[in-house]
């Protein structure tokens, strides 16, 4: 009975979120943030049509990726801070990196990436310059994106933002608009760039209205983490 209830809950949440997203931007995608969620819940979301899943911690993610290996169309996104000694495993097991913010990490990911593989990468931006948060400064975006072109196994797909917590809507909106404008300008130079990853469970509607093309949804889809 518990599994049926979970499936109904996830199915209903997915349907509601999907409807909201399509009403604002039909091309936008959901990234289901599956950290601290069970394999069974990921399967339930998959059965609803979800294909992109985000994980923050390598040690937690690897068993899930192995357990769900038969679902070959899942796209796994690494969305947490990247430690240097984890680059090889991340490059081998993930399809996307959304938290790239250092060239030395880019070099290692590129070096360890299987020869036939291209990692899809988003540059994490620390818009508010929070000392405790990863991400490059807004002013460094253009230079950083240009430097990434030297790595043949990295395909630059876009930008990722985790805004400062508990901002007022008008402050949050200003940050989203600033990112959207930057993203629009960068797309002129990088034709494969199509992903502006910003907006989470509490603010994804505002992010979509501002120009996000991918929203990272965790608790609104899966319920609170255990």
Give 77-114 as a DSSP string.
Answer: EE-SPPPGGGHHHHHHH-SEEEEE--HHHHHHHHHHS-
Average pLDDT over residues 35-55: 97
Confidence of residue 2 (pLDDT cuts 50, 70, 90): very low
Residue 33 has pLDDT above 90, yes or no: yes
Of 25-29, 131-135, 185-189, the least confident: 131-135
With the C-alpha atoms ordered 165, 98, 146, 156, is the resulting torsion angle positive or negative? negative
- Which residues neighbour 1 within 8 Å (Cβ) at sequence distance 6 or greater? none
Question: Which pTM does this prediction carry?
Answer: 0.94
Asked if 17 and 220 count as a contact pair (C-beta separation under 8 A), the reply is yes
As a whole number of angstroms, the distance between CA 76 and CA 67 comes to 13
Reply yes or no on whether the pLDDT at 8 is more than 60.
no
């Amino acid at each position: 009975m518990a599994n049926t209830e979970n499936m109904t809950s996830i199915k209903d949440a997915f349907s509601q979120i999907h409807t909201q997203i399509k009403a604002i931007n039909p091309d936008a995608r959901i990234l289901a943030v599956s950290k601290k969620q069970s394999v069974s819940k990921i399967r339930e979301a998959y059965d609803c049509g979800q294909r992109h899943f985000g994980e923050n911690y390598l040690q937690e993610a690897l068993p899930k990726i192995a357990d769900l290996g038969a679902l070959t169309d899942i796209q796994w996104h690494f969305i947490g801070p990247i430690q240097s000694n984890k680059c090889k495993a991340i490059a081998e097991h993930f399809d996307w990196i959304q938290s790239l913010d250092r060239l030395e990490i880019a070099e290692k990911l590129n070096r360890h990436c299987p020869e036939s593989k291209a990692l899809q990468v988003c540059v994490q931006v620390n818009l508010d310059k929070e000392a405790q948060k990863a991400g490059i400064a807004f002013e460094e975006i253009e230079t950083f994106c240009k430097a990434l072109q030297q790595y043949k196994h990295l395909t630059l797909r876009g930008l990722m933002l985790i805004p400062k917590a508990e901002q007022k809507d008008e402050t949050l909106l200003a940050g989203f608009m600033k990112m959207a404008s930057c993203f629009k300008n960068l797309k002129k130079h990088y034709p494969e760039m199509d992903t502006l990853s910003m907006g989470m469970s509490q603010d994804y509607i505002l992010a979509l209205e501002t120009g996000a093309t991918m929203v990272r949804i965790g608790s609104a889809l899966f319920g609170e983490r255990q």
